[in-house]
Amino acid sequence: MYDSDRHFATTYQNAPREFAFHATTRAEFESWQSAFRPRLRQLLGLDNLARDLADHTPTAEQRAVEDKGDYLLETWHLWTEPTVPLPFYLLRPKNTTGKLPLVLTPHGHNHPHIYAGITHNDAEAKSAQEGERDIAVQAVREGYLAIAPTTRAFGETRVKGDIDKNAVHSCRTQLMHGVLVGRTPIGERVWDMSRLIDWAIETQDVDASKIAMTGNSGGGTVTLFAAACDTRISVAVPSCYFCTFVGSIGTIHHCDCNYVPGILRLGEMYDVAGLIAPRPFCAINGQDDRIFPIEHVREAYERLKRVYAVAGVEDDCRLHVGEGGHRYYKAGSWGFIAEHFGG
């Protein structure tokens, strides 16, 4: 009889991984990265995005400013495509001088405003408090300029039908339309993060050598892939995402937006994360996270440490495990970021 679990496991095992990490010297590591990163960008659809949007110059418009006491909360839109006015919050610390480090905090499968400390009901307030999800507020209170972007297919970038029925996201619709033209949801979200970095460097008083990204769940996904593709991100702290593809999205039901056609023919998640080296990387995970199982997290971490060891920076690869489930654990982020920002 047909055994689907056995079949899928066999297909994963049989898929050749072109960029599985086998380097033993720094020169081999650098050669591996220089060959792998362009192929990853191509698979995500970033090359297609770059070609399709070659004549587009993103512009931004500020919509509102609110004084929150110790910081300013600004509401903006950035046209990352001519048809995509991407909403984002900019949290600006008060009483600071000089160039500021920048922290981007992409969110997961919840509402964008929660990361900016905005809640509309008791359930959102409870989720934000118990899961430490006001990540952009945490960042600005560390003294950083913080951008809390809308993840594409959420908030104002949902399709009208999902907005009308108050669905949280339009990820499947985003995937289906994107596949037809050689895009992926992850690729579009990475594109948006890079355009936000462009804008911040060009228009804000940002220290371009100190750019961090951290987000939970889907925000961890964006963090890992964006840092793998955009080397301007100097510190990456994905939360409740880093694992193995096979042990997480290949085994357990996840949102459609997680899937990149053919990714396992390039490498496993730890290989993708290896493109972040030698830049500092800290994975945050929950001991009891049921959708990113901790045994596969630890397996991925041991493999990633080999990449960092060959790169000569083994101590810059870390794992913080929180005593709980699928949520953010701020104890794993701000000390690590400050250490590598030199603060």
Give the other-Cβ count within 10 Å of 175's Cβ. Answer: 21
Quick check: 343 pLDDT over 70?
no
The mean predicted confidence, pLDDT, of the chain is 97
- Model confidence at 111: pLDDT above 90: no
What's the whole-model pTM score? 0.97
pLDDT digit string, tens, across residues 122-140:
989 998 898 999 999 999 9
Statement: residue 270 has pLDDT above 80: yes
**Is the model's pLDDT at 299 over the cut of 80?**
yes
Thinking of the domain 25-337, which architecture would CATH place it in? 3-Layer(aba) Sandwich (3.40)
Question: In the structure, what pLDDT confidence band is assigned to residue 73 with cuts at 50, 70 and 90?
Answer: very high
Domain ranges for the chain: 25-337
d(CA 298, CA 276): 18
For 217-230, the pLDDT digits (tens) are 999 999 999 999 99
Q: Are 146 and 156 in contact (CB under 8 A)?
A: no
Summarised one tens digit per residue, pLDDT across range 306-328 is 999 999 999 999 999 999 999 99
Task: Supply φ then ψ for residue 22, to 5 degrees.
Answer: -135, 10
CA-wise closest residue to 53 among 170, 197, 183, 176: 183
Interval 244-267: pLDDT, tens? 999 999 999 999 999 999 999 999
- Residue 93: phi, psi to the nearest 5? -65, 145
